[in-house]
Amino acid sequence: MDHPLIFGFALVATDVVVWRCAVPSNEVARLLTRLGIYAVFSALLFDAGLSPFSEAPFDASRGLHVAGAVLEIIWWLTGARLLSLVLDTLFLPKMWRRQRLFEDVFSAVTFLAAVVASLAFVLELPVRGLVATSGALAIVVGLAIQSTLSDVFAGIVINTTEPYEVGNWVSIDGVEGKVLEMNWRATHLLTGQGDVIIVPNAVAAKAKITNSSRPAALHGLTITLEITPEARPGVVLDALGLALKGTRAVLADPAPSVLVKGACVQSMSYEVIAFVDDMGKKSAVANELYDLCYRHLAAAGIELRAPGEPRARDLAVDLRDRRIGVLRRVQLFGALPPDDLARLAQALTCHAYEAGEVLITPGTVSDLLMIVDSGVLSTVASKGEEQIEVARLGPGETCGEDGLLAGIPARVTISALTNSVLYSVKKDALTPLFKSNPEIVHSMCAEVSRRQHTLDKMGTAKSAVRSEESFFQWLIDRVRELHDLTL
């Protein structure tokens, strides 16, 4: 039991335990531990008279001879593995390590070299003939797996030039998706439909690649609109420019832009280009832009209809129809009966505001419901010394509900971001509408409750309103009291 070979196998078993149990948990510490075990193992072999560069001694005992040969072969194979781990852990960039390609290729080469060295030094086999034979065999195998080798070398090129990395959103050969894995054969993409598509490296190396994740904080989006040619391009461009200003997620640098893409008898094509700082925002911002473009075009009097279709009436519409159009763009009033709309339209008053003009300040109690007809408003809340923009309001959106419904002081500053036109209606004119359409009251109270909750989550100054009941129910009770309603 005192023979040094026993301790050699014990060290090999210890190395296997460290490898399989991942002890210690830190990768670098674990590698250093294995290197230490390997150094002790090497010293033990040489001390016992075993050299991995020669055949094992102990000819008098066949058992000891075989055991020595096994330890020498293990020395070569373990050394090859540790060499590849040192390269992978200490020298390769993190991105290359995630892709595994270089580690796999280098490991295969080092293990092949270790096997050949074991055959030549430990077993003293004639490797020259083996190498010559293997060369001819390699030619035959290479021809048989030509496409696979093409993928391997293409993978080396891709990993070296780094057109994309794991986690990027790319388009390769017309296939768009998120890069899940890059290995020696192919790139794995997760598409927007949840499917995994495997693109061979040879195809990716020759294809046109679009990497939407670079630059990391800059992602462009484009929407195209077909507008009737009867609309003056200058008016359309102004309306679409306001739509871009109404989206907080759009970056100011690079500046968004609108251009006339083309013109024909049936329509004129306009392109809206914007940039966001997160790939995940592109779809949501594109949808928001479509909605804002629709509302701002409608506010500019540009009808969204089939190109070439004649107008139902002349361009000059009377003020009453204009006011009804403003009310119909408000989601709250869109489903009201024509008679109620007509009565409410008569109570509307028009106001024009210049950019930078303040409409509502914190602490004021509004008795007006204000409806944005055109332009963009900015809503800003105070959090200590910091001013935070909470929202932007465009055509069809409203403000002032807090004071109108329940006499709640405003917690935000609302100002005109651009030149804007608003219509307002007083509380007395809304009370009859509330009585005949109680669903409007519930919708407005829900919106006010949502806004108050958003401000609370942001940590802004709390409202003076306190109640043991839910805030929504408190609002309903206040509306009953202020407007003398039965809901």
Give me 436's structure tokens.
């005949």
For 315, which DSSP code?
S
Cis, peptide link before residue 233, omega less than 30° from 0: no
Which pLDDT band holds residue 385 (cuts at 50, 70, 90)? confident
> In the structure, what pLDDT confidence band is assigned to residue 317 with cuts at 50, 70 and 90?
very low
At which residue do the structure tokens 């109640």 appear?
467
Instruction: Quote the CA–CA distance of 77 and 118 in Å, as a whole number.
Output: 9
- How is the chain split into domains, by residue range? 4-144, 163-211, 219-299, 336-483
Is 304's pLDDT higher than 90?
A: no
**214 φ/ψ angles, rounded to the nearest 5 degrees:** -130, 135
Whole-angstrom Cα distance, residue 176 to residue 344?
A: 51
pLDDT at position 127: 65
Distance, in Å, from the CA atom of 221 to the CA atom of 283, rounded to the nearest integer, reads 9
* 256 and 240 Cβ atoms separated by less than 8 Å: no
pLDDT of res. 259: 93
Q: What is the mean pLDDT of residues 54-82?
A: 84
Q: Which residues contact 227 (CB under 8 A, 6 or more apart)?
A: 236, 267, 268, 269, 270, 297, 302
Q: What is the pLDDT, as a whole number, of residue 422?
A: 95
What digits encode the pLDDT tens for the residues 128-160?
665 555 665 566 555 555 677 788 788 878 877
- Report phi then psi at 226, rounded to 5: -100, 115
Residues 72-89 pLDDT 10s: 889 988 988 888 888 777
Residues 6+ positions from 135 with CB-CB distance below 8 Å: none
Total residues belonging to the chain: 487
Q: Which pTM value belongs to this model? A: 0.63
- Cα separation, 127 vs 134, whole angstroms: 10
Reduced to 3 states (helix: H, G, I; strand: E, B; else coil), residue 266 is: coil
pLDDT digits (tens, 9 = 90+) for 432-455: 888 888 888 888 888 888 888 888
**Tokens 């942001």, located at residue:** 458
pLDDT of residue 353 exceeding 80:
yes
pLDDT at 98 over 70: no
Q: Which residues pair with 31 in a beta bridge?
A: none
Contact between 380 and 440 (Cβ < 8 Å): no
Q: According to CATH, what is the number of the domain 336-483?
A: 2.60.120.10
CB burial string 289-303: b at 16+ within 10 A, e below: beebbbbbbbbbebe
Residue 380 has pLDDT above 90, yes or no: yes
Helices (H), 246-356: 282-299, 319-328, 338-346
What's the whole-number mean pLDDT along residues 219-245?
A: 91
CATH pick for 163-211 out of 3.30.70.580, 2.30.30.60, 3.30.590.20, 1.25.50.10: 2.30.30.60
CATH placement of domain 219-299: 3.30.70.100
pLDDT at 228 over 70: yes
170 vs 116, residue with greater confidence: 170
The pLDDT confidence band at residue 239, using thresholds 50, 70 and 90, is: very high
For residue 123 the two structure tokens come to 């077993």
The reported pLDDT for the residue numbered 63 is: 80
The pLDDT score that the predictor gives to residue 395 is: 93
Average pLDDT in the 447-470 region? 72
Confidence of residue 189 (pLDDT cuts 50, 70, 90): very high
Q: Which of 20-24, 162-166, 300-304 comes out lowest in average pLDDT?
A: 300-304
Q: What letter represents residue 364's amino acid?
A: T
Tokens 């030549």, residue located: 120
Neighbours of 327 (CB within 10 A): 21
Average pLDDT of the chain to the nearest whole number: 83
Helix (H, G, I), strand (E, B) or coil at 260: strand
Q: What are phi and psi of 242, to 5 degrees?
A: -65, -35
CA distances from 483 to 41, 68, 429, 443, 451 (A): 90, 99, 11, 16, 22
